[in-house]
Structure 1
Amino acid sequence: STQQQNEIRSYVVDVESRRILDISNNLKTPGSTTVLCVQSDVILATFSSLTTPGQLFVSKLSSLERDCNIEWVRVSTPSEVPSSVANAKVEYMALKQDTGARVSTFTAIYFGPDEGKVYPLVVWPHGGPHSAFSNSYSLEAALFNMIGFA
């Protein structure tokens, strides 16, 4: 599992065929997939987003060999969160600066109310490439959302 722009994504590397297959569990909703354990051909992973706490999923690698797709089965349910968190807007933003700097493009994630009002904004800068912020559940982000910050 590794950070890829705004999400943590998980991959299978087939050394013989030299293929890298994305097995992330975010076909239905954006979020982050982290592999926790692999035993024989069974994979245990967690999936979460800024609006949904982590939940456990399992899958078999043998299903990947048949059709190049992986089918995740949820084995836990996420904890309930306040409606302000569950219904918050999550938006991936591709940004560009025209200052002549070596790095001119970057991404950001907006997480906050979707009501068109003005809210105080919390900004979490990071010093990438060694750190990053992803669309995965964060108690701190949920707390700031619940007390009225974007």
Structure 2
Amino acid sequence: MRDPHLLALTVNDSEYEVVVEPRRTLADVLRHDLLLTGTHVGCEHGVCGACTVLLDEAPVRACLVFAVQAEGSSVRTVESLADHGELSDLQQAFSDHHGLQCGFCTPGFLMLAEGVLAEQPDASREEIREGLSANLCRCTGYQTIVDAVHATACARRESAS
């Protein structure tokens, strides 16, 4: 291993220390070292968004972030959404509104949507569409994804009041 680095980070509320080469991406470490395979790698150029995770609660492309850049940070992957085997409200909305088909892009969309809703809990359909436009899906046509995220936003606002 060339120039090994001991990396300490928090992933899904668990502390990890991993020895990595500085050239390895966060996606590589999540998938291969921590065995969190919900983070999908599509284009490996930051274009598709399949690898989107939350880094200190902000959506990032895990294929573009070197693992060492996440040193001391908190990372949330799609595995953080389900609670004791129960789908999160957003995951359930994706199912209810048919916001997934092949499912390859779904983890990235879920994490991007969590980031969008955290930043804009009152997001309109247009704001949701704009926020999600950074990710690509080849199956759904996007409307059902927007429907799922909008339904989640409405339900969260209703339960908060």
* TM-score after normalising by structure 1: 0.28
- For the pair shown, the structure with the greater C-alpha radius of gyration is 1
Greater share of residues in helix:
2
Provide TM-score, normalisation by structure 2: 0.27
